[in-house]
Structure 1
């Protein structure tokens, strides 16, 4: 590693440390402090940036480096909001420590994805002095509405009439051995299961909402889902999960309503339409088996399509070439969880959704990111961006 590469890695790490030390848990912390760190850093270097809002709420920061020649725009994306800490007593160091110990950057967001945010800001600073020779332009999206699942920063970026629409996006989730080129989609719904209200000690026998909802959970757990379809080229099958169950209070009242949250992960051979049909079939069976004064209600709340890039599609192809040039052996991966790539796929924008440094404890206890490979990861993204911006 050259001295300049070492200096850059040290600078990226320093910025990431400052970001980790500003708690930015989704739905818990104020996002202003963590964005102010980025704004100060960008401002000192004269990089154009502006805040984004979604539905009236602060959702992210957008950096734009326009090239001096006609061409396509590309985007780098990293979130700077984080998962919650969980049980802080289980951590062996403070979740907002931001220190570096034995080559590991420690703290919530170190892996997902404040190190990537710091890296992408440095990439923008690297490219800005040579912008006149580049085609199109580079946008860096720093999202603070990602871990909510709303993806408000990405939505605000795509809806911004002043922003150039990107030809493709590279998302800076961590992981050195793979480039994520796809993910299962999702279909989500809230199911309102009614039942007769009454006193739990009543002599009258009645099946309440909680019992009806429990029966529905059993029906959903037993629902048949197809396996992975090898012929489709998509390596994963669909998955159905009941993720929440709410109803009742105290002991003496039989509640008249119980609500379930249902999450269905979709694939090309089992899409949102089929997911909804499966859920409604189970609900119809419940209402037939255990009649109630009111029918059970299904309210869809979110739907994203599955996506998969081939390795010769951009921006995946260029990123694979750049990692190979750094001597890294990476493979393509289709992820089980959904991500911003699914949202982008619904907009017709191809995205990679993960290549970065090794990590541990993502969304869990003792989150940390290993820094040894940071120079190679940085160089790979830099080469990929320059290659994309060299094409008309």
Structure 2
């Protein structure tokens, strides 16, 4: 009987893993992917959505277009995970596997920051970005805060992108002088993995008059006031927040988590349950929570599964990925990071440029073609 592979989640990691297994095994892959959503959206596309440059319909890629030999993608809601039995129950049925890969990403805990849902806005979800598409054009003056409400969070430079793009958006509307922008971050720098990128971002904040408060976290919102973990109170007319992240509740309920995340063996991505892997944002890797790092994790897991199925050689997790920063004025910078293949972190930084924009577009085009044939 063919080995059964069950992938939970059709994000960067799930898409890449299914594609790799299909390429290696063809119709013999016997892979089922489960995701409750109808379409895939690149996380960085939400910046363009919230600032009115595109719509969710335009950037979404329907999962119905994900057609690969040996792969079945079902759109169902997962209700329970039994890691010991490698059995998953959904609102559509029960699935059993020989290899189980959990790639469900991270959810947002709005309730962890009192007042966030009532008095602020978040821009990390599709719905949040879409809502801000209508909110931002109505804003005309006053203090704005881009605030992070917990760590770790997805896409470390994402909030910096928001602050920079916000500056250019308000400048284009001719109201920048009537608005103050403050960026509140729990980190010691806006991009710890790349000192060059971090310095360039801080230089840009200073140039554009964006106030940066480091090693501070937003813990509560009151009407028109953000309260930080040191007791500081910052007034705001508009709050754009990054909610506290956590694994989906069904993962907590499964007993897979420890200290809030799913522990794994970093070189192999395998959990404490044999044949059960965790990749992407909910895995406790210590690496940036970013789509490209989920991709590199998927490559490692694919070799591990293929080693057990076909006797191939398993490859260790490389911990490689790319962090991209949209400046909002047509320029893009990016850092190519390698955490695990050498004795220390290697970071290659590319300053903001139009060439960087072309790199980002090529990144987008490559995955659209690879996963969805677009």
TM band (smaller chain): under 0.3
User: TM-score, structure 1 length as denominator?
Assistant: 0.25
- Normalised by the length of structure 2, the TM-score is 0.26
Q: Which has the higher contact order (CA 8 A, sep 6+)?
A: 1
Larger Rg: 1
